[in-house]
Amino acid sequence: MAQCSGWTVWPGAPYPLGATWDGYGVNFALFSAGAERVELCLFDSSGQHEQARIPLSEYTDQIWHACLPECRPGQLYGYRVYGPYDPANGRRFNGNKLLIDPYARALAGRIHWHDALFSYRTDSLHKDLSFDRRDSARYMAKGVVTAGPSPWTRDEESRPQRPHTPWSQTVLYEAHVAGLSRRHPHVPASQRGTYAGLASEPILRHLQSLGVTAIELLPVFPFLDEQHLVQKGLTNYWGYNPFAFFTPHAGYMGETGGDEFKLMVHRFHEAGMEVILDVVFNHTAEGSHLGPTISLRGIDNLSYYLTVPGNARYYMDHTGCGNTLNIPHPRVMQMVTDSLRYWMTEMGVDGFRFDLALSLARLPNGYHPGCPFLSAIGQDPILSRAKLIAEPWDLGLGGYQVGRFPPGWAEWNDRFRDTVRGFWRGDYGLVSDLATRVTGSSDLFKHDGRRPQASINFITAHDGFALHDLVSYTVKHNEANGEENHDGTDHNISWNCGVEGETVDQSVNALRQRQKKNILATLILSQGVPMLVAGDEMGRTQHGNNNAYCQDNTVSWVDWSMSRAEDSALFDFTCMLLRLRRRYAAFRRTTFFTGAVVPPLGIKDVTWLSVSGCEMQVEEWRAPFIRCFGFHLSSSMTDHTDIVNHPLAHEGFIILLNAHDGPVDFRLPTGAYGKRWTRVFDTARNDSPESAEETFLSSSLYPLEPHSFVLLICDKKPGGVEDEPRLQRAVSKIVMNRSRQHTPGYSRQQHKKIWRKARTQQPRRKRSWMKVKH
């Protein structure tokens, strides 16, 4: 025991890392392999006055540590780390710079841009090779000692039950915490733009009526507004610029503060929805070798960051953001996995989408599915149970690896995005690729036991055009970003339907509405996991801005007014599509199509149809000018798994797609597939689902309008499918077999009772998509 600046100092322990209150005192522990000494700096409640500097004299396994028995929760702190300042060799220690604890569970204040944040003299000709002696403390955020988990967080029984939605039933909804509620008229003004506002009743009710099962939130880690944005009067709206990994971004905290994030997760779980976080572990806000020193760079630059081999002054930049975290380092790996477990166990989230995930899965020679990071996640008893989503690319060499992540991971499928966009734009030669995409992208994911749900299907995301803009703009319009429209991609694969931007031309607006429906129908009824972007279901626009990362304003915020009639109609249409997906397992199979005959139906699980109504031949797949085709889906018996609550039933569907500029008379297939077909919807028609119903006989011509998507369902009324008795016998056999598997101790009479119950619970003829329930 020792005394320092009036504080009693005990040796403490090297674990856990961070500042930990145990009821008797606070243990401080910080990893730094290259430091020569470390000081713990304590501040008053304002964060402006440094009260004490306490040397961490204990050094165990490269961990500097001490315990202050007189310290209490609420104490503000930071670190100063001393060692060699030799940037040419990657050593950037500077004790004049206050550093944020990477394990801080809360932060006070914010980072204010000032030249004192840099370890070098910004006006020096030698740039980062020079040395700056100014104290940065007054411009820095400070860590806050917390009291530990809330009682309901510690007690599993007091938490709401996690939804545990199967991947096959998952519908993702990508949203910005603040942007989703900023303009909602029924969210209390004090809650708009906050975690509480996100979980408010109007937002939850909207998501439930839509049919969303999981919300995927843009980054919630504390992030820094880049200096060049601040100089332009802009901010980093998206938040992909983190500097801490264990606390929610304070800018989204409302009046309640404290546990607001946890309570938000709690409310989503009560509403039956999961919470998935978009996490950024590929880089930090410290940027390139010319960036500020606010945390990891000053703690141990060579351990935390990948530097250029043979020239450690510079960083390997696989991210385009100036640096790349050194994930293979054991302590960096520990920090990342500790963070993920913290967000799952203490904050209650259900999964993660990893930004530029390839940067985390690299070895010196490039990406490898057996890398330390992926192996660590796969064996972890907590993290391996999370929903794991990879953005399977980065900017490094070999930085595109869609479909190559290991089992247990789902991946953003940009091949799906580009193919669907191109097809509905009218591009030629995409029919074969589109057929592969809508059936789960087996060419990418059918390996190592992976299923169609490994494909996260999306058309739009936070970056790029919104759905409305995708059919309203052919080129980007990013002038508001202050970079003379040079930022953002030019590869939009969009079509403005004849007029650039908004128009009063009714024919153009009608075509745009039809195109939005075509795209949504293709997305939601394809195999895999669909991801919607907040507001797309209501016609949200960013006015042609395809890189709105710095637009914290009405450009990015979701507009809830639905002022145009077509906006509410689009919402109703999206709800109907998601009800169809929930109702029929044919649209969310757990296995890939094989092209094999499905017993006892005598037809293939998927049959590709030409406009003649016959199965497509090889030469038709290769024909470069085809932009119209169809396919028949047969529900596999194994797609219906609940033998009591959801009786087994076969439904056959025909989907027709026409991206031509003119109409096509599409002949329906022969009676072997079904004798009568009822139209569920046709995107070329503006009628309601009730009036959309019309019956078509097998081998008849369906008048397929230009730029349209049609869904037909097999009508099994008397006079319908001829093999219905044979089908019923097959269903009965499967029900009995499954009953025996699930209830091995039951008698034959009890098994028959289950079978009869399944038979009597056949759905009524009234279609579940008919009415939209708000």
Please report which helix (H) or strand (E) contains residue 387, including its range: strand 387-390
Distance CA 265, CA 751 (A): 41
Contact 143, 107 (CB under 8 A): yes
Q: How far, in whole angstroms, is CA 273 from its chain's centroid?
A: 14
Classify residue 36 as exposed, middle or buried by CB count within 10 Å of its CB (0-12, 13-18, 19+).
exposed
- Note whether 731 and 640 are within 8 A (CB): no
Distance CA 166, CA 385 (A): 12
298 close to 119: Cβ distance less than 8 angstroms:
yes
3-class state of residue 556 by DSSP:
coil
The residue assigned the tokens 């250029």 is: 308
Please give the distance of CA 302 from its chain centroid, rounded to a whole number: 31
Cα dihedral sign, 480-484-488-490: positive
214-217/172-175 β-pairing: parallel
Residue with tokens 């856990």: 16
Amino acid symbol at 208? Q
> Is 391 an active-site residue?
yes
| Helix or strand holding residue 521 (H, E) | helix 506-524
Residue from 355, 433, 639, 682 carrying the catalytic annotation: 355
CB 403 within 8 A of CB 451: no
Sign of CA dihedral 494, 499, 503, 508: negative
Q: Tell me which amino acid residue 99 is.
A: L
CA distance 436 to 505: 36
Active site residue 156: no
Other CB atoms within a 10 A radius of the CB of residue 697 amount to: 13
- Distance of CA 417 to CAs 187, 270, 304, 532, 558, Å? 33, 32, 35, 12, 22
Residue with tokens 């025909």: 654
Does residue 358 contact residue 392 with C-beta atoms inside 8 Å?
A: yes
DSSP-assigned beta bridge partners for residue 400: 393
3-class DSSP assignment, residue 664: strand
- The string over 149-164, giving b where at least 16 C-beta atoms fall within 10 Å of a residue's C-beta and e elsewhere, is beebbeeeeeeeeebe
Instruction: Give the side-chain half-sphere CA count within 13 A for 601.
Output: 24
Tell me the HSE value of 522 on the side-chain side, using a 13 A CA sphere.
31
Residue type, 618: V
Q: Which long-range contacts (CB under 8 A, 24 or more apart) does 146-155 make?
A: 146/19, 146/21, 146/73, 146/105, 146/106, 147/21, 147/73, 148/20, 148/21, 149/346, 150/259, 150/262, 152/262, 152/266, 153/262, 153/345, 153/346, 153/347, 153/348
What residues contact residue 299 under an 8 Å CB cut-off, 6+ apart?
30, 31, 32, 35, 79, 81, 99, 102
Burial label for 599, CB within 10 Å (0-12, 13-18, 19+), is exposed
Residues 6+ apart with CB under 8 A from 277: 216, 217, 219, 220, 343, 349, 351, 352, 353
Q: Which helix (H) or strand (E) holds 683?
A: none
Residue from 770, 699, 759, 695 nearest 727 by CA: 759
Distance CA 654, CA 84 (A): 70
**Gap between the Cα atoms of 614 and 665, Å rounded:** 14
Q: Side chain identity at 432, as an amino acid letter?
A: S
| Active-site option among 216, 300, 350, 391 | 391
Residues forming the active site: 355, 391
